[in-house]
Amino acid sequence: MDMNPPPTLSLCSSESLSSSSSTASSEEANYKTVSSDHLSTMFGNKLKTAAGSHKSMIVQAARKGQKELNDKFPRIRLAQLPTPLEFCPRLSEALGGVEIYVKRDDCTGLATGGNKARKLEWLMAEAMQQGAEYIMTQGATQSNHARQTAAACAKLGKKCHILLEDRTGSKDVNYNENGNVLLDDLFGATREKRSGGLDMNAELEAVAEKYRKEYGSKVYTIVGGGSNPTGALGYVNCVYELVQQFDEMNLDVDYICHATGSAGTQAGLVTGLKAVGSDIALMGFGVRAPKEKQEENVFNLAKRTAEKIAKPGIVERSDVVADCSYVGEGYGIPAESTIEAIRMFAELEGLLLDPVYSAKGAAGLIDYCRRGIFKKGQKIVFLHTGGNAALHGYINSFK
């Protein structure tokens, strides 16, 4: 249910399938006399046909899923989609011949881009459907989600109120007033600060209830990161988009990897992959919680997301994998590997990462390549979640 007319999407056609011209009976009659090369070609063609048929089924499932999402759930077009899928030749060479592609969700267009635009298409549509006047959300001081929510509210004429949590304890002026914080203000959002360690979603609901009672406002609250089943639809849809891009580019992808924090992006991705029957491995590189907690958060949200799209039970616990070895000292605090990743992507490919999310995910990607977990010749898609506006809050990290 698009609340705006949908743009024309350029969808690839499924690859033509070849079939063996030989019948089973003739193969059985001649198997003793054919050469080993012929046998290899014959059965190799059958395997290719089977693989091609499976890929075609995945592409068809993606197209069908995309239509079902748009028919069933309200959506407002806020992002520029599909985002590009780019090969990174210099980065690939520097990392030993692992073939690295970047899914450019830093190019979604809303307020400098980022992954939250995909989630907000569904969240803001739900808010509009409910007649909300105020949109409230929460995040850390340099929250990309808060920035894109404020921009979406400005675009749609809604009031925006944000709770910002001090998770780092930084007193740096740039961190507290520049970057995403400056943009929050420019988009007209009002904001409150909270000390670190609070239950921020509970704080959010308390403020929303105050606005409802004292001002009679219709308030729609968005959990941190937009990470609920409605927001996760954005990354179910991203899988449907990716599958069609893989088909168009004739890519057999081995892994998709990305930064994982509030769980919505990874939950949507794993749900989408299971929904289309893809066996592409998914790896989330954590930015905050320990591995067990992160995986449990993602799995719980993925289960609810699968139920929302009427495919309960498709995600198993073993489908959710996170590596939280690249967090460093804590959330929002760049490690040496974080800064190295930012410089490497910038110097080799002209791509800007952010110090909180995407660079910690990229640090994991770099290390996996160096350690041979991702191997030469394998095709790895790194989902760039955006956030480069936060760089302006971290000037001292690069001195």
Whats the size of the chain, residue-wise? Answer: 399
pLDDT digits (tens, 9 = 90+) for 31-54: 334 454 554 554 455 445 566 788
At CA 290, angle to CA 284 and CA 294, rounded to 5? 50
Q: What is the DSSP string of 34-97?
A: S-HHHHHHHHHHHHHHHHHHHHHHHHHHHHHHHHHHHHHS-B---S-SSPPEEE-HHHHHHTTT
Question: Which helix (H) or strand (E) covers residue 137, if one does?
Answer: strand 134-140
Looking at the predicted structure, is the pLDDT value of residue 4 above 90? no
pTM of the model: 0.88
Radius of gyration of the chain (CA): 23
User: Using one digit for the tens of pLDDT, what is the confidence trace for 177-221?
Assistant: 999 999 999 999 999 999 999 999 999 999 999 999 988 889 999
> Catalytic residue at 143?
yes
Q: Of the listed 10, 16, 35, 143, which one is catalytic?
A: 143
Q: Indicate the pairing of strand 281-286 with strand 190-195.
A: unpaired
User: What does pLDDT average to over the chain?
Assistant: 90
Question: Does residue 89 have a cis peptide bond before it, meaning omega lies within 30 degrees of 0?
Answer: no
Specify the amino acid at residue 181. Answer: V
pLDDT in the model for residue 382: 99
Q: What phi and psi, each to the nearest 5 degrees, are found at residue 80? A: -90, 100
Tens digits of residue pLDDT in 93-111: 999 999 999 999 999 999 9
The pLDDT value recorded for residue 2 is 58
Print burial letters for 187-206: b (CB count within 10 Å at least 16), e (below 16): bebebeebeeeeebbeebbe
Q: How confident is the model at residue 20 (pLDDT cuts 50, 70, 90)?
A: very low
Flag whether pLDDT at 247 surpasses 60: yes
Residue holding tokens 């969808």? 11
